[in-house]
């Protein structure tokens, strides 16, 4: 059935620039229709310097919440009244819930969405070791969520020349204080990476290496790095199957790309706003 806008329809939106390519309006509005919820999801092109005014407007309009894309994920943090534990550790927010008293609670659903996609593939990280490539926005969210979810050990690879290396080191120290997870930060060296992958349950590429149009690139040099007990995940979903995922499958590993992470991070945001479970199979069938 068609979704009707009523005098009681609550607004939820995406803020960022650009936002025209986003699947979020389609997936959330489809879920609202499926469950008969009186919400509407729209995308607004908002620049960094416009964010504070946009938030004040959304409060006045009685909006229920929003998603944010980079670089607004960091800019929204000081505008939130409360942060979830993961958002506090990441110092990044991609989902905000606006309460009736106009207080803002910031969450990051990227890490939660990633591990929901892992569980769908039969991969659990609790009590296991993970090797993580990249400590940008997605990498930090996955790092934090893995530690909070009970990963025993994380080998984190990030270039020492990265402009975010200081932030990465600070996040690692915070996680060591707040969780029992053992986390070691490494620069990229093939021999070290191969050694750390040997006893890992999960390898995650959270960089943009292998993303279109650079589909031929991969941080793993050859198939000798893989072993049968290793699962391999790539956060990239364009192409749907990266060179890393292809190599891992050919080596006999369970391997999957980032499309379900995109779906499930949205499903977690949907739950936070509505208190209900997104009908992910319906959304997946129509838009993924």
CA–CA distance, 245 with 258 (Å, rounded to integer): 10
pLDDT higher than 70, residue 264: yes
Give Cβ neighbours of residue 192 (< 8 Å, ≥ 6 apart). Answer: 186
Nearest to 262, CA basis, from 154, 120, 129: 120
Question: Under a CB-based contact definition with an 8 Å cutoff, are residues 10 and 47 in contact?
Answer: no
Residue indicated by tokens 């793993």: 220
Question: Given this model, what pLDDT does residue 1 score?
Answer: 46
Backbone torsions φ then ψ of 40, nearest 5 degrees: -135, 140
Q: What average pLDDT does the segment 41-63 reach?
A: 97
pTM of this structure: 0.92
Using pLDDT thresholds of 50, 70 and 90, give the confidence band for residue 162: confident
Using pLDDT thresholds of 50, 70 and 90, give the confidence band for residue 81: very high
Question: Under a CB-based contact definition with an 8 Å cutoff, are residues 237 and 258 in contact?
Answer: yes
**Beta sheet of 153-157, edge-to-edge order:** 182-186, 153-157, 129-133, 202-205, 231-234, 254-256
Q: 44: which DSSP letter?
A: E
Question: pLDDT tens digits, residue range 8-17?
Answer: 999 999 999 9
Nearest to 160, CA basis, from 138, 192, 128, 130: 192
Q: What average pLDDT does the segment 225-242 reach?
A: 95
Q: Taking the domains of the chain in order of start, what are their residue ranges?
A: 10-108+262-287, 111-257
CATH architecture of 10-108+262-287: 3-Layer(aba) Sandwich (3.40)
| CA atoms lying within 13 Å on the CB side of residue 31 | 28
Using pLDDT thresholds of 50, 70 and 90, give the confidence band for residue 2: low
Domain 111-257 sits in CATH at 3.40.50.720
| Neighbouring C-beta atoms of residue 176, cutoff 10 Å | 13
Question: Given this model, what pLDDT does residue 178 score?
Answer: 95
243 labelled catalytic? no
Q: Same CATH fold, 111-257 and 10-108+262-287?
A: yes
Which is the catalytic residue, given 73, 128, 129, 243? 73
């Amino acid at each position: 059935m068609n979704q009707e806008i009523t005098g009681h329809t609550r607004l939820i939106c995406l803020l960022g620039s650009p936002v025209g390519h986003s699947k979020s309006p389609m997936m959330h509005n489809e879920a609202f229709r499926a469950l008969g919820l009186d919400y509407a999801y729209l995308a607004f092109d908002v620049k960094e310097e416009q964010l504070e005014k946009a938030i004040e407007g959304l409060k006045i309009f009685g909006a229920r919440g929003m998603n944010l894309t980079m670089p607004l994920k960091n800019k929204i943090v000081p505008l939130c009244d409360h942060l979830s534990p993961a958002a506090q550790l990441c110092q990044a927010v991609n989902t905000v819930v606006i309460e009736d008293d106009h207080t803002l609670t910031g969450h990051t659903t990227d890490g939660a969405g990633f591990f929901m996609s892992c569980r769908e593939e039969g991969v659990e990280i609790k009590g296991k070791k993970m090797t993580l490539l990249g400590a940008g926005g997605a990498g930090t969210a996955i790092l934090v969520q893995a530690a909070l979810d009970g990963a025993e050990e994380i080998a984190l690879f990030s270039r020492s020349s990265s402009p975010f290396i200081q932030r990465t080191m600070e996040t690692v120290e915070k996680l060591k204080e707040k969780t029992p997870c053992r986390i070691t930060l490494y620069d990229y060296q093939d021999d070290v990476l191969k050694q750390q992958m040997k006893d890992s349950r999960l390898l995650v590429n959270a960089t943009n290496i292998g993303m279109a149009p650079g589909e031929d690139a991969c941080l793993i040099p050859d198939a000798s790095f893989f072993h049968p007990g290793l699962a391999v995940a790539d956060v990239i979903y364009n192409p749907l199957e990266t060179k890393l995922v292809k190599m891992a499958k050919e080596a006999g590993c369970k391997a999957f790309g980032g499309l379900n992470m995109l779906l499930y991070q949205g499903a977690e945001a949907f739950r936070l706003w509505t208190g209900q479970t997104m009908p992910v199979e319906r959304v997946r069938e129509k838009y993924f």
